[in-house]
Amino acid sequence: MRLVRLSERLWVVRDIDPWDPPALAEAVRQAGWPDLEEATEGLESVGLYFREPFGNAGSLERRLLELRPVERAPGAAWRIPVCYELGLDLDSAAADLGLSVDGLVELHARRPYRCLAVGFSPGFPYLGPLPSELTGLPRLPAPRPKVPAGAVGIVGGHTCVYPSETPGGWRIVGVTPLRIASLEEERFPIRPGDSVEFEPIGRAEFQRLEGRRLWEAWT
């Protein structure tokens, strides 16, 4: 376990094996440290935000080593419709992976992914792991200035859904018609520990569902 102090009140815990980030963050939260404001999981680390300046690495390490695994409440299960025909990089991604387009879609859809972390932009879920056949795609050589909200991407061993229009370098293999987050309402329903499954749909169904919200009935 390695502790990195980023500011007077923020520490990052790295090299956390045998923990995974959601499990360690949940154990810290349930420990109820009175001086801790928030524990936030990342892909490979956990951020600890203290209420006051905290500079004692030895004390923090002892607290972490005393933690024991806790039972984590099961996360929510989300089903997200995706029109793969709208994927900007669907053809090139399939070719780079040595797959047919149909083969890529079949491997990507209808399987549960775990939300490992949320970051990059508000409500942006890092989902994984990808099946081995889809693993290893690099990011685009240059990020797109604008990736549309709802774009579904894959890179490395992860997949994602862009909650808002932002720059981005993930390989876009489809688009969901649903709004998966609301910046205006500060509503970001997909959380670490949740599961997400993608359901292929056609263009007509995409148009029918366009603009509906993930957290409301959309079927």
How many C-beta atoms lie closer than 10 Å to residue 10's C-beta?
A: 16
- CATH 3.30.1360 domain residues, the chain: 2-66
pLDDT 10s digits, 63-103: 999 999 887 777 899 999 999 999 999 999 999 999 999 99
Candidates 207, 215, 198, 175; CA nearest to 80 is: 198
- CATH 2.40.100.10 domain residues, the chain: 77-209
pLDDT 10s digits, 160-193: 999 999 999 999 999 999 999 998 888 999 998 8
Dist. CA 31–CA 24, nearest whole Å: 11
pLDDT value of position 64: 94
- Which top CATH class is 2-66? alpha beta
Q: Which CATH number is correct for 77-209, 2.60.40.10, 2.40.100.10, 3.90.1580.10, 3.40.50.300?
A: 2.40.100.10
pLDDT value of position 85: 97
pLDDT 10s digits, 117-155: 888 889 999 999 999 999 999 999 999 999 999 999 999
Candidates 149, 114, 132; CA nearest to 41 is: 114
Instruction: Give me the half-sphere count of Cα atoms (radius 13 Å) on the Cβ side of residue 177.
Output: 19
pLDDT value of position 219: 63
Query: Of all residues in the chain, what percent are helix, strand and coil, respectively (each to 5)?
Result: 25, 30, 45
Helix (H) or strand (E) holding 24: helix 21-31
pTM: 0.82
